[in-house]
Chains A and B, each alone.
Chain A
């Protein structure tokens, strides 16, 4: 029996230059209000001059398999949607911020109109066969989206053939952003 669809993102951070095109593309595609973003850039520099390393990361909701935001939502607004994507039903959300407190990745914000908002993997685009806006804009092509359970998908191939890591997996959240090297 075929496994159900499981959307994930595989990110080649060694190609990312941290330009934030993904941030602007997301804000436009999803009408994110001024002062907030659903995705963001982290730049991590380690070492002491001149022995340094740097990683640029395009960050967003990890769409966990075990999402603490969903478990902590008192109204059921936060839920797991089609393809394992973590979503918020705006009509059920009271803006209590329990999910914001529960999220170890700081991926949610309180929208000025009174509900909690976050990355949806652009599910409105995915439904009609398009990729998320951040994936299509990226000049370095470092973001890859797809169904990890589809044996023919690019993301499955990447996850199966490359060394990957996830973030804060020790919390048991089973995050679904996979970080890989491009080579």
Chain B
């Protein structure tokens, strides 16, 4: 612990060196697909047994039935029929979840960095090492010098352990790199976030507007199910997207908007509804404040003006706006999910929130439903030690309305030696290089830390920068805390092990408890087993663990999730079309449009997204899923392709405005995108030979995202603010691969 001088004490150390040295128990012969002659009859084969649980290939957490064969091997996963998020159906990723479980590339045992090499360690030894370091950090700098970076349901026990330890500092990329802007905007407007799973009543919408939200390529199961039902019921769909997404292919109107100008379109619709008196007058009079201020602020934003920004026909803007207003409270302008696009995202989503308020769809059928959840008391533990929580103070100095820590703040804090210092990161299930902006900065911060613990299922590149690597279980090998989110009907779901942990992996709840015991925090973990903990939490609901292990999910009763008398937790108690909170912090109280930066000549804007068979980097090494989509492609309009002289399927490199080059990537020449932008899916382009499937497959968009605009309101980091061109050789030819 003599490293406050800024020396780099950490170097990259590929996790496999030690594994290759032969410290690993043999697991050769793991095959992904059983022979057809052995496994002909699927779930009906003799000896097949279903275990009810819930999925975590993504965060949607659908109910599953996991089928093990007579040898105890998980061979099939189907949707849980009674679970409200799956209704018996499942997306491709959940169906192929065992590809993550049986991945032969998984981390096999705890590993300790020892000088320039890795050494396999026992759990005892690894946990002793971490606990000793944690004790030392607490003694020397205070507990707040250790930060938890986490993602996923399994993190709950680690969060509990960290709070007991005295370190409430934590961060997750789900805030600044995903839905933080949306939640901040809805809190400012309605006093509460949209939440996850989203409280959008898609199924009953009669008029649905989606901006850059590519449902069907993002496979959030229940939303896709409801989307399909809406199509069946004849929803009028408007999709605003520079790309002809799958959703756009189902739309009545596809508006191929110029990237970065969505706010202009939204403001034009807001103006149209107010100007023509087509907003929901009763709803606005009863529940909104600031209509007059809004009317004045949006006065300049005519459809003709919006055309100059967006390129969308003003007559179409008018007719869609009027049609939307006609559908009123059963029309929905979807708030999206990953909303960190341009750095002005809170204001853009504010405009979405305001437009919905003018439609009066809060608490209505086809609008934003009011879900309910089961109240499950916490397992009683002593109060956490007092903490000043100084870290959030640093954050709100820069981002006044952030209520979670943007990940880049942790990095900057370390690099800028801010006080109190952060000297250690505990990283659970989070691939920093894939989701934090600016990999180089993240690596520099990692080099300065005294303690880096990575708890992971897979030897991702990040593990090479750790002091200790702990092999995590997948969701199919463990118990977890209960899942009881707000939904149309309240429910509680149980996760339970389907198979025994592979290799020497252990679940986070066990790791958290073992660390707590070593740190003298045993009073915070009074249960001896996780079963005991779950039994105690289920008991107030009148449920038993034995019963839940059979059923997997318990669905409660609730009245229909709609209300005529909504309540709002804003300062005014009303929907704030005009936000005093924003005005007081020096921000525009009503969104104001600023045109996006234009690409340099010969460059195109880089847009990012996803493919339906992957949960970003979490599944790119899943061999079953990779069979269908092994790599990403860069989408290039036919006209651009002709200008650059590239063919469909050719491999090229991209170079961004700062001269950063990408790995080779396949070109998809298509009519489905505007000529002024290109598109690629996120999560590919892994750079570690330990991930034998994913290594070198496709290109990491994150490498090219060097120009980041931070949302000044809450700290979101933009992903759509970079420009790329195809790399050309000296004689102007496009380089092949």
Contacts and interface: CB of A to CB of B under 8 A. Distances in A.
Interface of A: 12, 14-15, 17-21, 23-25, 27-35, 45, 47-50, 52-56, 111, 113, 117, 122, 124-125, 128, 130, 133, 136-142, 182-183
Contacts of A52: 244, 249, 254, 671-672
A64 B543 CA distance: 52
Interface string B214-235: 0111010100110111011110
5 contacts: A19-B224, A45-B249, A49-B244, A111-B36, A136-B88
A21 B225 contact: no
B78 interface: yes
Contacts of A34: 32-33, 623, 627
A130 B42 CA distance: 12
Nearest to A23: B628
A12 B233 CA distance: 13
Interface of B: 32-44, 75-79, 88-92, 95-96, 215-217, 219, 221, 224-225, 227-229, 231-234, 244, 246-250, 254, 256, 612-613, 623-625, 627-628, 637-638, 670-675
A24 B96 contact: yes
Contacts of A117: 36
B95 A28 contact: yes
A17 B234 contact: no
A101 to B, nearest CB: 22
Given A17-B612, A24-B95, 12 more contacts: A19-B92, A19-B216, A19-B612, A24-B628, A27-B624, A28-B96, A32-B36, A49-B638, A52-B254, A52-B671, A140-B224, A141-B229
Contacts of B32: 34
B89 A139 contact: yes
Contacts of A27: 33, 624
A146 to B, nearest CB: 17
Nearest to B34: A31
Contact of B36 (A23, A31, A48, A183): A31
B90 A21 contact: yes
Contacts of A21: 89-92, 95, 219
Nearest to A47: B671
B228 A139 contact: yes
Closest 7 CB pairs between A and B? Answer: A54-B249, A17-B216, A29-B42, A140-B228, A19-B612, A31-B39, A24-B95
A32 B40 contact: no
A117 B40 CA distance: 12
Nearest to B219: A19
A32 B38 CA distance: 11
Nearest to B77: A28
A14 B231 contact: yes
A65 to B, nearest CB: 26
Contacts of A35: 627
Given A20-B628, A24-B624, A182 B40 contact: no
Contact of B37 (A15, A56, A113): A113
B224 A139 contact: yes
Contacts of B624: 24, 27
A19 B216 CA distance: 7
B263 to A, nearest CB: 21
A137 B89 contact: yes
Contact of A30 (B38, B42, B613, B623): B42
Contacts of B89: 21, 136-139, 141
Contact of B35 (A12, A15, A113): A113
A89 to B, nearest CB: 13
Contacts of A18: 216, 246, 612
Given A49-B638, A49-B671, A141 B228 contact: yes
Contacts of B625: 24
B33 to A, nearest CB: 5
A27 B234 CA distance: 33
A116 B244 CA distance: 38
Contact of A31 (B38, B96, B246, B675): B38
Contact of A56 (B38, B77, B215, B246): B246
Contacts of A19: 91-92, 216, 219, 224, 612-613
Nearest to B79: A137
Given A29-B43, A124-B44, A125-B42, A20 B92 contact: yes
B613 A20 contact: yes
A104 B123 CA distance: 58
Nearest to B86: A139
Nearest to B637: A49
A34 B43 CA distance: 19
A117 B36 CA distance: 10
B206 to A, nearest CB: 13
Contacts of B216: 17-19
Given A49-B671, A52-B254, A56-B249, A139 B219 contact: yes
A28 B68 CA distance: 12
Contact of A133 (B42, B233, B249, B638): B42
Contacts of A29: 42-43, 76
A124 B232 contact: no
Contacts of B44: 124-125, 128, 130
Contacts of A124: 40-42, 44
Contacts of A50: 244, 254, 256
Contacts of B96: 24, 28
Nearest to A55: B249
Contact of B225 (A20, A130, A141): A141
B231 A182 contact: yes
A30 B244 contact: no
Given A31-B35, A49-B637, A140-B224, A15 B613 contact: no
Contacts of A14: 231, 250
